[in-house]
Amino acid sequence: MNGNNNDVSVLVTGGTGFIAQHCILALLNHGYRVRTTVRSLAREAEVREHLKTGGVDAGDRLSFVFADLGSDEGWPAAAAGCTYVMHGASPTPTGEQANEDDWIRPAVEGNLRVLRAARDAGVRRVVLTSAFGAICAGHGPMTRPFDETDWSDLTSTNVWPYQKSKTLSERAAWDFVAREGQGLELCAINPVAVLGPVLGADYSHSIRLIKNMLDGQPGNPKINCGFVDVRDVADLHLRAMTHEAARGQRFLAIAGESMWLADVARVLKARMGPAARRVSTRVLPNWVVRLGAFRDPALRGSLPLLGLNLNATGEKAMRLLGWSPRPREEAIVATAESLVRLGLLRDTR
């Protein structure tokens, strides 16, 4: 632990989130004081328990404040006295909200609320957790790996509301800092699918890919995906927070090359022993996935990805910030092991 950071406070938004909690762990392990926002203070005990699962008893080095991205209330107090902000909280509409605006407007306005509060509080730098969805969507086949110069093409009909919200909210953040930032620094982290040790029952969509395989889904769509360990995503946030070279930059977070989901299943089969007995390495024909999408709306968003190579490169973060992510296979196995350890898989007795 670096004791030199004891008097430096960092605001981490959305403290109940998977990436946010690993960022909090990394910050506490490096001696920072952390303040985190939650939409319900009743969840403080849950977050602290998750951090203990991650090996840290935060004590009074961590504090909680109420703030909701849909309202100005609480954000000035949340940012007050903080040197840095890690902002990854993003509203996720319920399934009943089919309107695209229900995704986009809260994401854009939420980013602007946090940035205004940070600017007004004299924060030095905001590290924004964006997404690969702000880079890769709407392009069709690529002849090279995606990198930070790419932006999702929102003129395409094959862009999900989530990807639009991430693209427009990140662009709004860059525009705000350029026009109204008054010296506030910004950098963005764009992770691919984030895996790694689960800390509790509230986890990300990417983790469900592994859980569904271990629970015995009948096969794998022909979908290609990049992966990165959440601990390495947190480490990249930490590096981007203080490194001079990170100011004004985007960083794609991916470990190695992308993988087809059937190859992920093979890693589980090879590494997880009896816990992977229900894993299928079968590749589902595209027509089967399309048929399933008629019955399950959740599958429809994946249809444009069938057969598409979504490889990307994290070379920029490695070169500029000295970032060194663990192998993708290690992230896959760490996810599976934590799901087994915490008893989060379907009962197969």
Tokens of 264: 């992920």
CATH of residue 38's domain is: 3.40.50.720
Domain span at 137: 3-197+227-254+311-326
Q: Report yes or no on 158 lying in a domain.
A: yes
Q: Distance (Å, rounded) from C-alpha 99 to C-alpha 33?
A: 39
Name the nearest CA neighbour of 85 among 240, 312, 204, 202: 240
Q: Distance (Å, rounded) from C-alpha 111 to C-alpha 321?
A: 25
Q: Report yes or no on 8 lying in a domain.
A: yes
Angle between helices 261-271 and 328-341 (to 10 degrees): 60
Per-residue pLDDT of the chain (349 residues; tens, 9 = 90+): 455 788 999 999 999 999 999 999 999 999 999 999 999 999 999 999 999 999 999 999 999 999 999 999 999 999 999 999 999 988 766 555 557 888 899 999 999 999 999 999 999 999 999 999 999 999 988 899 999 999 999 999 888 888 999 999 999 999 999 999 999 999 999 999 999 999 998 777 899 999 999 999 999 999 999 999 999 999 999 999 999 999 999 999 999 999 999 999 999 999 999 999 999 999 999 999 999 888 887 777 788 889 899 999 999 999 999 999 999 999 999 999 999 999 999 875 5
* Residues with active-site annotation: 166
pTM: 0.95
Q: Report yes or no on 112 lying in a domain.
A: yes
Q: Report yes or no on 57 lying in a domain.
A: yes
Q: Report yes or no on 261 lying in a domain.
A: no
| Phi, psi for residue 225 in degrees, rounded to 5 | -150, 140
Q: Distance (Å, rounded) from C-alpha 261 to C-alpha 225?
A: 7
Q: Report yes or no on 281 lying in a domain.
A: no
When divided into structural domains, the chain yields a total of: 1
Q: Report yes or no on 344 lying in a domain.
A: no
Q: Which amino acid is at 1?
A: M
**DSSP code at position 136:** S
Q: Report yes or no on 23 lying in a domain.
A: yes
